[in-house]
Amino acid sequence: MPAVEAPRSAPTSDAAGAARVAAPVPGMLASEDWWSVWLGLGVFLLSIGVLVGVDLLGWAAKSQVWLSPASSVIPVSPAYASVPSVVSILATYVFLLVATSIGAKFLGAAVARFAASFTVVYWVSYGCWVSGHFAYIAATPDKLGALGIGWSMNLTGEAGFVLALVAGLLVGNVFPRGAAWLAVAARPEWYIKTAIVIMGAALGVKAAEATGLAGAVVFRGLCAIVEAYLIYWALVYYIARRYFGFSREWAAPLAAGVSICGVSAAIAVGAAIRARPAVPIMVSSLVVIFAVVELLLLPFVAQTFLYREPMVAGAWMGLAVKTDGAAVASGAMVDALIRAKALAVQGVEYKEGWMLMAATTTKMFIDVFIGVWALVLAIVWCTRIDRRPGERIGFASVWDRFPKFVLGYVTTFVVLLAICVWRPDLRAAGGLASEEGTSFRVLLFAMTFFTIGLASNFKKLREEGIVRLAAVYVVSLFGFIIWIGLFISWIFFRGITPPIVGG
Amino acid sequence: MPDKPDLSRELSRMEAEPLLDIEKKLVAGSLILGVLLLVILGWLASWIGRGV
């Protein structure tokens, strides 16, 4: 191993977050990545109280399809059925406000300022989430009769995510001062990573029901690493260098942003090759914009053409959409849209969450290797392209870039999977625990959608020179990344369907 | 740190750097290894079965 200095440490959270007030506390309390672990594990630990008969989170608000606003929200646990909905709604808000404010304090934000912005982000997101459950928007065909309505848009309650995204886009692009005021609480990467940690528990319960399919999903995730790093990155880097005339400093982070994982990868690779910090940040702003475009298009494309191949669709989202937030969000949308269409067209009711699992697992396997790839490029750059005497590369840089929220996800997934496999009598309680976590997870998802929209400033596309970056992005993403990802997802998942409800 | 208007102008007027041999080797090696691994993993997936 050549003696080369460790690459400048790159944040694993989004660029905007990295530019905020410097965290006063070092180590495991100083990053959004770690705080997603603590918050997610906190919700998980409280939720699994039901396994020993102690229901600590049953008061959390759960949205359901509604015609009358009074019936839109109920407490998630039957044990708390007597709790008024408004109490449930307020308690859920206070819980998340306190939890995130504690994290924000350690992350260096002014707590009062954060709390004020978070309150707006929360209630706008929550309003969109509940609105998306309006019966004429969300109801699936099997529910129309019970609701007494003759039609609906059949979008399921996840339409609330799209509403939140549109709301964020409106605020971000039409009211920039409002967006700037909300910036301190606009932390889509933190929210989605916390949601993913919580989601691990729900996926663990599902995996216990179909361990073989879960194994296939994990295997597909491993293949995604090969695609993203060895094929996509190499192709995009070559295209950017050879045909668009980018320098190495621009081409490497751009290739990482387009092919691997958007913001985190662009910043990590930029640091590895010692690019100027502003270079990957400019790339990152483009990544977010294109992720929003993909989020608005691909789930509906998947619903139209892939409702007979649901697992292909789920894995495709994890490969094609290039930020954690948008990829997992796309997975959630695909899960809901395809389940609705399969029910309407084929009369088949798939169990919820499997397509989401495919998308999330695929994306997370890609995330895990960001640090490894950054180390590989650092070695290549420092030894063959940009040699500097006396520099040292250490494996500590790999750990530095490892996405810590994956640890939380694996923990919640494995713990609940193990409990449900070894104690089948606890599966029902495990299901309730995951439902209670899901009450918070969907709100974090809604806030992710809203804040992704806030951060997407389409005016950036008009900046001089950005068109050249965007051209590489369009050619690569829509020219081959999306289609290779679809093809390989097809090879691994064609003919595989999620378990069926009641099957 | 260069501000964004400077970087934007830099982007629009960037002069090309010729590809170094190491860059070509990195790209070619990644693609060859990637395709080989995908073939192997695809074969493994069909051999193990799809696990449903």
Tens of pLDDT, residue by residue over B2-44, are 455 566 667 666 667 889 999 999 999 999 998 898 888 888 8
In angstroms, rounded to a whole number, what is the distance separating the alpha carbons of residues B16 and A239?
Answer: 12
- Type of residue at A473: Y
The amino acid at A488 = I
- Residue B12 and residue B14: Cα distance in Å, rounded? 6
Nearest neighbour of B12 by CB, restricted to A219, A226, A465: A465
Is residue A206 within 8 Å of residue A214, measured between CB atoms? yes
| Test the A interface: residue of B3, B46, B50 with most A CBs within 10 Å | B50
| Ranges of residues in chain A whose predicted pLDDT is under 50 | 1-23
Provide the 8-state DSSP code for A350.
B
Cβ distance A111 to A105 under 8 Å? yes
User: From the CB of residue A55, how many other CB atoms can be counted at a distance below 10 Å?
Assistant: 20
**The pair of three-digit structure tokens given for residue A24, joined into one six-digit string:** 């006063």
Residue of A nearest to B50 (CA): A216
What amino acid occupies position A290? F
- Cα-only R_g, chain B: 21
Q: Rounded to a whole number, what is the distance in Å from the CA of B48 to chain A's nearest CA?
A: 10
Q: Which of chain A's residues have a Cβ under 8 Å away from the Cβ of B11? A: 250, 282, 464-466, 468-469
Residue B14: the pLDDT is 67
**What's the pLDDT at B5?**
56
Q: How far apart are CA A351 and CA A325, in angstroms?
A: 23
Asked whether the beta carbons of residue A234 and residue B9 sit closer than 8 angstroms, the reply is no
Minimum Cα–Cα distance from A377: chain B residue: B26
Chain B: which residues have CB within 8 Å of chain A? 1-5, 7-17, 19-20, 22-23, 26-28, 30-31, 33-35, 37-38, 41-42, 44-45, 48, 50-52
Residue B11 confidence (pLDDT) = 64
Residue A338: C-alpha distances to residues A297, A299, A357, A392 (Å): 14, 9, 14, 50
**Do the beta carbons of residue A192 and residue A161 sit within 8 Å?**
no
Return the structure tokens found at A433. Answer: 């625990």
Residue A472, amino acid = V
* Residues A314 and A353: beta-carbon distance below 8 Å: no
Q: How many CB pairs under 8 A join A and B?
A: 120
B41/A468 touch (CB, cutoff 8 Å), yes or no: no
- Best to test chain B binding among A211, A217, A223 (most B CBs inside 10 Å): A223
CB A457 within 8 A of CB A136: no
Q: Under a CB-based contact definition with an 8 Å cutoff, are residues A412 and A193 in contact? A: no
CB contact under 8 A, B8 and A463: yes
As given in the structure block, the two tokens for residue A273 are: 């090759």
Alpha-carbon gap: B2 to the closest alpha carbon of chain A (Å): 7
Nearest Cα of chain B lies from the Cα of A107 at a distance, in angstroms, of 24
Assigned token pair, A170: 């409106």
- C-alpha A376/C-alpha A89 separation (Å) is 48
Nearest CA distance, B8 vs chain A (angstrom): 5
Closest by Cβ to A230, choosing from B9, B16, B37: B37
CA distance A283 to A406: 24
- A436, A76 contact by CB (below 8 A): yes
Q: Is A182 helix (H, G, I), strand (E, B) or coil?
A: helix
Whole-angstrom Cα distance, residue A309 to residue A220? Answer: 15
Name which residue leads in pLDDT, B45 or A34.
A34
A359: exposed, middle or buried (C-beta count within 10 Å: 0-12, 13-18, 19+)? buried
A386 CB-contact burial (10 Å; exposed 0-12 / middle 13-18 / buried 19+):
middle
Q: Which residues contact A436 (CB under 8 A, 6 or more apart)?
A: A47, A50, A55, A57, A58, A60, A76, A77
Q: Do A491 and B42 touch (CB under 8 A)?
A: yes
pLDDT at A16: 43
Which residues in chain A have Cβ-Cβ distances shorter than 8 Å to B16? Answer: 245, 247
| Residue among A369, A357, A403, A37 nearest A198 (CA) | A37
Nearest CA to A184 out of A113, A123, A263, A281 is that of A113
Roughly how many angstroms between the first and final C-alpha of chain A, as a whole number?
55
A9 in Cβ contact with A270 (< 8 Å)? no
DSSP SS3 for A232? helix
- DSSP state letter for B20: P
ipTM: 0.85
Closest chain A C-alpha to B32 CA, distance in angstroms: 8
Strand ranges in A112-250 using DSSP code E only, listed in sequence order: none
Q: Which residues of B touch A18 (CB under 8 A)?
A: none
**Candidate from B8, B10, B45 with C-beta closest to A492:** B45
CB A441 within 8 A of CB A202: yes
Q: What token pair was written down for A417?
A: 């999977």
Contact A247 B4 (CB under 8 A): no
Number of alpha carbons in the 13 Å side-chain half-sphere of residue B49: 4
Which pLDDT belongs to residue A355?
93
Give Cα A453 distance to the centre of its chain.
14
What residues of chain B lie within 8 A of the CB of A229, using their CB?
30, 34
Per the CB < 8 Å rule, is B37 touching A226?
Answer: yes
Considering only CB atoms, which chain B residues are within 8 Å of A469?
11
Whether B50 sits inside 8 A of A248 (CB atoms) is no
**Which pLDDT score, from 0 to 100, does residue A387 have?**
67
Q: What is the pLDDT of residue B8?
A: 62
pTM for the structure as a whole: 0.75
Minimal C-alpha gap between B33 and chain A (Å):
7
pLDDT at A14: 43
* CB nearest A380 (choices: B10, B22, B41): B22
